[in-house]
Amino acid sequence: MSAVVGARPVRRRRLSTTAIVYLVLVAVVALSAVLVTAAGKSFFTAGNLAAILTLMSILGFVAIGQTLVILAGSLDLSVPYVVSTASIVGAGIMAQGTAGILPGVVAALAVSALIGLANGLIVTRLRVHGFIATLGVGLIISGWLGTSFQGSFGSAPPEFRTIGATLIAGVPLSTIIMLACAGLAALMLHRTRLGHHLYAVGGSAQVARLSGVRTQVPVVVAHVLCSTLAGLAGLLLLARTSVGSPTIGSQGGYDLMSIAAVVLGGTLLSGGVGSVLGTIGGVAIFAVLDNVMSVLEVNPFLKDFIRGAVIVVAVALYAWRSIQRRPPRFRKEAGA
Amino acid sequence: MAAARPLHAPVLRASGIVQSFLGTTVLHGVGLELRAGEVHGLVGENGAGKSTLMKILAGAHQPDAGTLELDGEPVSFASPIQAQRAGIATVYQEFNLLVDRSIAENVWLGREPRRGPVVDRRRMLRDTQALLESIGAQGLDAGLPVRQLSVAEQQIVEIAKAVSLDARVISMDEPTAALADHEVSLLYRIIERLTERGIAILYVSHRLREIFDLCTTITVLKDGTHVGTWPAAELDERGLVRRMVGRELSAFFPDRPEGAELGEPMLELEGAGNGFVDDIALTVRAGEIVGLAGLQGAGRTELLSGVFGADPFTRGTMRLQGRETRIRSPRQAVRAGLALITEDRKGQGLSLSLSVLQNALGVVRAVFPGRTGAARQAAPERLAELALVARGLDQEVQFLSGGNQQKVVLARWLAVAPRVVLLDEPTRGIDVGAKYGVYEVMRRLAADGVAILMASSELPEVLGMSDRILVMRDGRIVGEVPPTSSEEDVLALAAGAEAEAAA
C-alpha cells in the first residue's frame, strides 16, 4: 500500500536557510576577528561586543517589524519616518521632565501604531500594494516633519537617557528589549493562529481565503506591529541622542536596510517563507560588518560597496538553492 | 440533522439549476442527485457546464435559478466557505495548498487546534497523521512541506483536508489529470475508503475508463442541458460517448494514412543525457509520430526538455536533419526548427492575460521578428483552421476553455513552421471533441513531413496515434513496441520487471 506514497528517494533534510545565515554570521565574525587582530586591535573586547550589540538593536526593531510585513506579502517603506515621528513625539512630551516619560512613550507608540493602522487599511481596504501605500504614507509624514520641525525638537530627561546607556551583563538594555520583541514575534508567528494565518496570507491569499481565513486581519496586524516596533526604535534613538530629530530615521536608511536584513535572513520578498530568527541573523551580519569597518576605518564608500556585495551574494545563493531543489538522477560522469 | 437517514437517501440534490454569465446561459435547468457512499460520474464535453455545476455546488457561483437541498433541507451558499462548512468539499485541478507549509498546517489552515491561546502543534501533527492513515496514505509524514510532495501526494492532502472538514460530499475535478497510472490506483483505493465512510463523491473526468471503473451512476451534460443520469452498468464507452457528443465517433483517433512513406531522419539522439535522463538513443523520421510512454517521473518530460535545450544534454550527440547540432537553449532550438508544446499549458505554454493574437505570435515575434508581419496576416486563417472558438482574436486566453487554449498553443508553434514537433501531454484536460482536433493536427503535420515526438500518460492515446512507441523507465529508454501492442505490454515494460528494479 505504501509502495506508492512515500516511495521516493529519501527526502533529504537540507540545511535550512536560517542555518546558513548563522553559518555566514560565524564566518563573518571569524574573518572580522582576524582582520581586526591583523590591524593590531582587539575584536573580542567587552566594549566592542557591546558596540556591535548596540548597532544591532535599532535596525533589529525595524527589521523584526519588516519581517512580519514581508511575510504577510506586503512591504513597509514608511519606517524611517515613523522612527523620526516617534522620536519627535516622545521628545516633545518628555521635554516637561521626568513626569513626561511614560506619557511620551505611550503617545509615541500610539502615533506609530496609528500610522501602521493607516498603512494596513490602505493595503487591505483600498487594495494599494504595500510598496506604494507605505511610500505614499512615508512621503506624507516626511512632508509634515519637514515643514513643522527644523532641526532638533524637545528633549529627553536623564532618567530616560539611561536606557540608552545601561548594560546588563555586558549586553545593552536596548538590545535585550529588541531580542525580547524578536522572541515575542517568533512566538506569535509559530504558536498562534494569527501567525499561521500570516504565513498563509503571504504564501497565497487565495488559498487562505478559500480555507476560511480572514485575509485582511494578518496584514493589518503586521503593519501595526511593524510601525509600533519602528516607534520603539525611534524612542531608543531618542534615549541615545537625547533630542527628537525629524531626520534621524531617514539618515539611518532604515527602510531599505531593514528590507535588506530581512532578505539576508532568508525571508522571501514575496512573502510566506521566512523567520524572525533569520532576520536577527541578517541584522547581526550587518552590525558586525559595520563595526569592523569602522574599527578598521574603512572609507565609507567601500563600506556601502561591501554591504551591497553581501546582500547580492547572499540572495543569489538562496535563489540558486531554490533552483537546485530537485536532485539530478544522473551525475555528469554517469554513462552507458 | 440527527434524524436517521434511510440508506442511499440523496445527500445533496440540485434541481432546475440555471446559470448565465454575461447574457450567455451555460446551464439550462440542470439537476443532480448525490447519494451517500456512491461515486457519481459527471461527464460531458468542455463547455457542457460540468465545471459551472461543480462550482455552484462548491459555493463559488450563485445560480440564477434552481434549488440545492442538503439532506432534504434547502440550502444556498454565498461563498465557498459556507459550502465547506455545510460539508461540501471540492478538490480542484489547481490545488489550494500552501506549498511552503507542512501537510498538517495545510489541512488545519483556518481551524488550527489550540490549547489555551497557542496553537497545539503536536495535536495538529498527530491528528493529521491519523487522518492520512485513515484514508490509506500511510507513507506520508504530516510534517513534510507540501513543496516536497508529488502531485498525487498533494492531491491526497487536499482530500485529507476535505475529510477533516467532515465533508459529506467531495467533488473532484479531473483528479487523475496529472497522475501516472500507478498513482491512479492509489486514488481509487482512497475513493473506496471515502465511500465506505458514506461520503458521496462527484467525479468529473474526461477519462472514460475511470468513469466506468469507479462510478455507480453517471450523469451526462451537453451544452448546459441535462442529457440524463444512468446507472453505470447500463452504459458502455461507446454509448456514453454518443450521449456526450450526440454523435457516434467512428474512432477516437483519426486513421493512419494508408501507405504513407517515412522520410529522412529529422531528429537523432545517441547516448544523450543530462541530470535527469541517460543514454538516450532514438530516431524520429519525417512524417513519423513516435510516442513516449512511461510512468510519471520516468523522464519523458525531461527528455523533451533536453532535446529542446531547456535542460540541455550534457553528453551524447544530437543530429537534426542529419547535421550534428548542439542545442543549449530553447531559443537555439526554435531557430533549429524545433517546437515544444509543454504539458503545463497555463504556466508554460501561454501568457494568460494576453490576447489570442498576441499569444499566437509570441514565438515568431521573439525568435524571428522579421516574420511577425507575415505571421500576423496568416494568424486568422491558421486559427480558423484549428477551429478555435473565441469571441475574437483580441480575447484574453485565460477566458478560453482548455481545448481552445491548446489550439492557441498549437497556432503559436505552427507559426514558426517547425520541422520537429515535441508534444508533452498534448490533450491533458481537454474534452473529447477538442482531443480529436489535436490528433487531426498531428496527422496533418506528419503528412506534411514534420517529425513528431509525443509524450503522453494516456496509453490509448500513445497506442492510437504513434507509429512506434518508446517506453521510458527511470530516466532511460527501456524498449520499443509497435502500436499494435496492448496497454498491458506497454505498462509491463514501463513498470519494469522486478529483477531489474535494483537500480
Q: How far apart are CA A217 and CA A121, in angstroms?
A: 10
What residues 183-242 of chain B have any CB closer than 8 A to a CB of chain A? 183, 185-186, 189
**Mutation target among B97, B98, B188, B189 for the A interface, most CBs of A within 10 A:** B98
Over its length of 503 residues, how does chain B's per-residue pLDDT go in tens digits? 333 334 567 899 999 999 887 666 788 999 999 999 999 999 887 667 888 899 999 998 899 999 999 988 999 998 888 998 899 999 988 888 998 999 999 999 988 999 888 999 999 999 999 999 988 887 889 999 998 888 888 999 999 999 998 899 999 988 887 777 778 888 999 999 999 989 999 999 877 788 888 999 999 998 888 999 999 999 887 788 778 766 544 457 888 877 778 889 999 999 999 988 999 999 999 999 999 998 767 889 999 999 999 999 999 999 999 999 999 999 999 999 999 999 888 888 898 889 999 999 999 999 998 999 999 999 999 899 888 888 888 989 888 888 889 999 999 999 999 999 999 999 887 877 788 889 999 999 999 999 999 999 888 889 889 999 999 988 899 999 998 888 778 877 887 644 343 33
Provide DSSP, B159-227. HHHHHHTT-SEEEEESTTTT--HHHHHHHHHHHHHHHHTT-EEEEE-S-HHHHHHH-SEEEEEETTEEE
Q: Which residues make Cβ contacts (< 8 Å) with residue B104, sequence separation at least 6? A: B121, B124, B125, B127, B128, B142, B143
Count other C-beta atoms under 10 Å from residue B65's C-beta: 12
CB contact residues (below 8 A), chain B span 262-301, against chain A: 271, 273-279, 299
Instruction: Kindly indicate the confidence band of residue A14, based on its pLDDT and cuts at 50, 70 and 90.
Output: low
Residues 6 or more apart whose Cβ sits within 8 Å of residue B466: B289, B290, B291, B454, B483
Contact present, A264 and A21 (Cβ < 8 Å) = yes
Quick one: DSSP state of residue B352?
Answer: T
> Which of A2, A187, A208 is nearest residue B109 as measured by Cβ atoms?
A208
A295-325: per-residue pLDDT in tens?
888 888 898 898 899 888 888 888 777 655 5
Q: Length of chain B, please?
A: 503
Chain B residue numbers touching A212 (CB-CB < 8 A): 81, 84-85, 109-111
Q: Is A329's CB within 8 Å of B101's CB?
A: no
Instruction: Please give the Cα distance from B273 to A252 (Å, whole number).
Output: 53
**Structure-block grid coordinates of residue A99:** 513626569
Chain A residues close to B279, C-beta within 8 Å? 335-336
Mean pLDDT of A51-78: 95
Residues 6+ apart with CB under 8 A from B30: B14, B16, B17, B49, B53, B66, B221, B224, B225, B226
Question: Quick check: B138 and A1 in contact, CB under 8 A?
Answer: yes
Task: Classify residue B234 by burial, with Cβ atoms within 10 Å: 0-12, 13-18, 19+.
Answer: exposed
Integer CA distances (angstroms), B78 to A216, B59, B63, B167, in order: 19, 6, 10, 18
What are the cell numbers at B427? 490533450
pLDDT for A332 equals 55
Cell of B44: 460531458
Residue B469: predicted pLDDT? 95
Q: How far apart are CA B108 and CA B130, in angstroms?
A: 13
Mutate to test the interface with B, among A70, A199, A273, A330 (most CBs of B within 10 A): A330
Residues 6+ apart with CB under 8 A from B328: B309, B312
**What is the model's pLDDT at position B501?**
39
Q: How many CB atoms lie within 10 A of CB A150?
A: 8
What pLDDT digit, counting tens, does each position of A155-165 carry? 999 999 988 88
Q: Which residues between 165 and 204 in chain A have a beta carbon less than 8 angstroms from any beta carbon of chain B?
A: 187, 190-193, 195-197, 199-200, 203-204
Residue B23 contacts residue B29 (beta carbons within 8 Å): no
Which pLDDT does position B428 carry in this prediction? 81
Best-predicted range by mean pLDDT (A88-92, A147-151, A169-173, A248-252): A88-92
Taking a C-beta distance cutoff of 8 angstroms, is the pair A71, A130 a contact?
A: no
Q: H or E element: which one contains B423?
A: strand B420-424
Total count of residues recorded for chain A:
336
Rounded distance between C-alpha atoms, residue B447 and residue B289, angstroms: 10
Structural contact between residues B203 and B39, judged by C-beta atoms closer than 8 angstroms: yes
CB contact under 8 A, A204 and B98: yes
Contact B482, B468 (CB under 8 A): yes
How far is Cα A71 from Cα B104, in angstroms, rounded to an integer?
20
Any chain B CB within 8 A of the CB of A12?
Answer: no
Task: Give the per-residue pLDDT at A292.
Answer: 92
If you search the block for the grid coordinates 481552445, which residue do you land on? B404
pLDDT computed for residue A322 by the predictor: 67
For residues A5-17, average pLDDT: 55
Q: How near does any CA of chain A get to the CA of B188, in Å?
A: 12
* pLDDT at B137 (0 to 100): 83
Contact status, residue A126 vs residue A237, Cβ threshold 8 Å: no
Radius of gyration of chain B (CA): 24
Higher pLDDT, A64 or B177: A64
pLDDT at residue B3, rounded to an integer? 39
Contact partners, residue A72, CB within 8 Å, separation at least 6 = A198, A201, A202, A218, A219, A222, A271
- What does the angle CA B351 – CA B355 – CA B357 come to, to the nearest 5 degrees? 105
Average pLDDT over residues A80-87: 96
Are A335 and B114 an interchain contact pair (Cβ–Cβ within 8 Å)? no
Output A167 or A119, whichever has higher pLDDT.
A119
Substitution target from B91, B101, B157, B303 for chain A, most A beta carbons within 10 A = B101
Confirm or reject contact between A251 and chain B (CB < 8 A). Answer: no
Residue-level pLDDT at B254 = 84
Cell numbers at residue B165, please?
A: 472538514
Report chain A's C-alpha Rg in angstroms: 22
Question: What domains lie within chain B, and their CATH numbers?
Answer: 10-245 (3.40.50.300), 267-337+419-495 (3.40.50.300), 348-417 (no CATH)
Q: Give the HSE-up count for residue A131: Cα atoms under 13 Å, Cβ half-sphere.
A: 5
- Model pLDDT for residues A204-240, shown as the tens digit of each residue: 998 998 888 899 999 999 999 999 999 999 999 999 9
More confident residue, A168 or A2: A168
Residue A4 sits at the chain B interface (C-beta within 8 Å): yes
Query: E strands of chain A, at which residues?
Result: 167-168, 171-172
Q: What are phi and psi for residue B117, nearest 5 degrees?
A: -85, -15
Q: What is the DSSP string of A72-96?
A: TT-----HHHHHHHHHHHHHHHHTT
Choose between B329 and A335: higher pLDDT: B329
Q: How far apart are CA B422 and CA A67, in angstroms?
A: 44
> What is the rounded CA–CA span in Å between residue A290 and residue A288?
5
Helix (H) or strand (E) holding B69: strand B65-70
Residue B355: its pLDDT value, please? 92
> By the 8 A CB rule, do B201 and B40 touch?
yes
Residues of chain A with C-beta less than 8 angstroms from the C-beta of B105: 196, 199
